[in-house]
A = this chain, B = another copy of it.
Amino acid sequence: MCGHLLAAGYAVRVFNRSRDRAGPLVEAGAEWCDSAAEVAAGSDVIFSIVGFPADVRSVILGPAGVLEGAASGSVVVDMTTSEPTLAVEIFTAAADHGVESLDAPVSGGDVGARNATLVVMVGGSGPAFDRVLPLFERLGQKIVLEGGPGAGQHTKMMNQIAIASGMIGVCEALLYAHSAGLDLERALDTISGGAAGSWSLTNYSPRILRGDLEPGFKIDHFLKDLGIALEEAAKMGLDLPGLALAKELYLAAREQGYGQKGTHALIAPLALRSGVDPGLGRGP
C-alpha cells in the first residue's frame, strides 16, 4: 500500500517496529523515522495499519505515537480493522490536537493491497475524506465515506459478519457433498451460478478441494474481527447466533492448529467434529 503512494510520486516517511520490514520501502525512496510521532511530525496525512486495537491505541494515542507528533491541520488515517468505539475515541483525541481523523479499514486481502484493488470503508468528516481521497485512490478501487467516525469500522464488521456465516454454509455444503459421494467439482459448478452462489463458494471451494488451506486471510486475524463484531453487537443489545457460532468454530480451528491458515480452513473443525478427513480424502 505504501509502495503505491511512493510509485505515485508522494514523499513518504515510514516507521515500523521491525525496521527490517521497511527495508524495501526505504530502498524505494521512503524516509525512515524512529517513531510514529516522527513520521507524523513531517506529514500532512498519517496512515497506520497494525494488528490489534491495542496496537492502534499504542501507535496513535501512546507515547511517541502519532498524536504526539501530528501538526495541527494534518489527518490521521487508521486502516487497521479495529474497534468502532476506538475510532471515535481517536477522532475526539485528534480533534483536541487540531488534527482530523478517519477510520478506513479495507477488504480485498493481500492481493487487493498488492494490486491496489482494495475496498476502503471510511468513517469521519466529509472534508477530511475529500482531502485523503486522492491517496485512497492509489490504494483501492472502491472508496466510500460510510458516515461519521467509526462508520468505516462498522461497515467492515458488517462485511465480516456476512462472510462468517457464509463460510459456514460453504464448508458444510462441501462436507455434505463429500459424504454423499457426489462429484464435488461437478456439484460445485452446478450450484455456483444460482441462489447458493457467493464469492466464498467460487473462490475458496476450489482451494479446499485441492487441499490448499493457505491464507487468503488468516484465521488468527479473522478471530480478532469476529471478537470485535461480537462485542460491538453486544453493546447494541444484539444477539447474533450465526456470528457466535462462527467464532466458536474458528476458535476450535485455532486450537486445532489452523490459526495461520486461511478462513476457508473452517472446513477442518467442521470435518473433525464429524470424524471426516479435513482434506475430504484428497488434500496433500
Residues of A within 8 A of B (CB): 84, 107-109, 119, 121, 142, 144, 146-147, 150-151, 154-155, 157-166, 168-170, 172-177, 179-183, 186-187, 189-191, 193-201, 203, 217, 229, 232-233, 236-243, 245, 249, 270, 273-276
Q: How many copies does the complex hold?
A: 2
B182 touches A151 (CB 8 A): yes
Q: How far is the CB of A194 from chain B (nearest CB, A)?
A: 5
Instruction: Verify B198–A166 contact, CB threshold 8 A.
Output: yes
Given A158-B180, A158-B187, A194-B119: A172 and B84 interface contact (C-beta under 8 Å): no
A268 and B236 alpha carbons, distance in the complex (Å): 17
A159 CA / B84 CA spacing, docked (Å): 35
A195 and B107 contact, CB distance less than 8 A: yes
B146–A183 touching, CB < 8 Å: yes
Residues of B within 8 A of A107 (CB): 191, 194-196
A–B pairs, 27, beta carbons within 8 Å:
A107-B194, A107-B195, A108-B195, A119-B193, A144-B186, A146-B186, A146-B190, A151-B182, A155-B191, A157-B176, A158-B173, A158-B191, A159-B194, A161-B169, A163-B196, A164-B169, A165-B166, A165-B168, A165-B169, A166-B166, A168-B241, A175-B238, A176-B236, A180-B232, A197-B199, A198-B198, A239-B273
